[in-house]
Homo-oligomer: A and B are copies of this chain.
Amino acid sequence: MLELAVLGLLHEGPMHGYELRKQLATKLGAIRAAISYGSLYPTLRRLQAAGWITEESGAKPGAEAPPLTSKRGRVVYKITAEGKERFQELLGNAGPETYEDPSFGVHFAFFSRTDQATRLRILEGRRRRVEERREGLRDALGRAAERLDAYTLELQRHGLDACEREVRWLEELIAHERSGKPPDVTPPTSR
């Protein structure tokens, strides 16, 4: 999840860890809380070791050079060609079969880098999972309703409502994708 998100953001341009965390918090604000540094920095190491990102040590001409006096200054990372391949590979994976898994949201957030066929596949996969959960909840509200207390039932109703809403949302998105008219995708800084 973090791996996909980091590669995706570095796809838009080079960045250092701290900045990455901030952008991630904005981009994935609808999905999850900001990631912790204790998770981010080891991930950057791992991605670098795998060859998917590199330190941008080269003094970018024209840009302000980092002060050479600093011992432990910013480390700016950029994505490599292998990293872009890896990113596409991760984007293609639909992720685990659980409803509450946040990976759908992360995939969705990077849909502007995904081809339409993959977008459709992921949207339909998500719809199937949400529909399954919806059926499970309907079942519980029917079959086991007597054995559950009022609060639990209220929780199930609210969950069912959320599922129905999400299915409708997904239907709209799928119809829109199929119409061949995807939303006006304007990636911030295309490369």
Residues of A in contact with B (beta carbons under 8 Å apart): 26-27, 29-33, 98-100, 102, 105, 108-112, 133, 136-137, 140, 144, 147-152, 154-156, 158-162, 165-166, 169, 173, 182-188
Q: Report copies per complex.
A: 2
Q: For the complex, what is the distance from the CA of A20 to the CA of B91, rounded to whole Å?
A: 37
Is there contact, CB below 8 Å, between A109 and B151?
yes
Chain B contacts for A183, CB-based, 8 A = 150-151, 154
- B137 & A30 in contact (Cβ 8 Å cutoff): yes
A151 near B111 (CB under 8 angstroms)? yes
Q: Verify B30–A184 contact, CB threshold 8 A.
A: no
> Contact: A188 with B29, CB < 8 Å?
no
A–B complex contacts, Cβ < 8 Å, 30 sampled: A26-B140, A26-B147, A26-B148, A27-B152, A29-B136, A29-B137, A29-B140, A30-B155, A30-B156, A30-B158, A31-B159, A32-B98, A32-B100, A33-B99, A33-B100, A108-B154, A111-B151, A112-B149, A112-B151, A149-B185, A149-B187, A149-B188, A150-B182, A151-B183, A151-B185, A154-B183, A161-B165, A162-B162, A162-B165, A165-B165
On whether the beta carbons of A151 and B108 are closer than 8 Å, the reply is yes
Residue of B nearest to A112 (CB): B149
A13, chain B: closest CB distance, angstroms: 11
Residues of B contacting A150 with CB < 8 Å? 112, 182-186
Residue of B nearest to A157 (CB): B30
Give the distance to chain B from A113, nearest Cβ to Cβ, in Å: 9
**Closest B residue by C-beta to A146:** B188
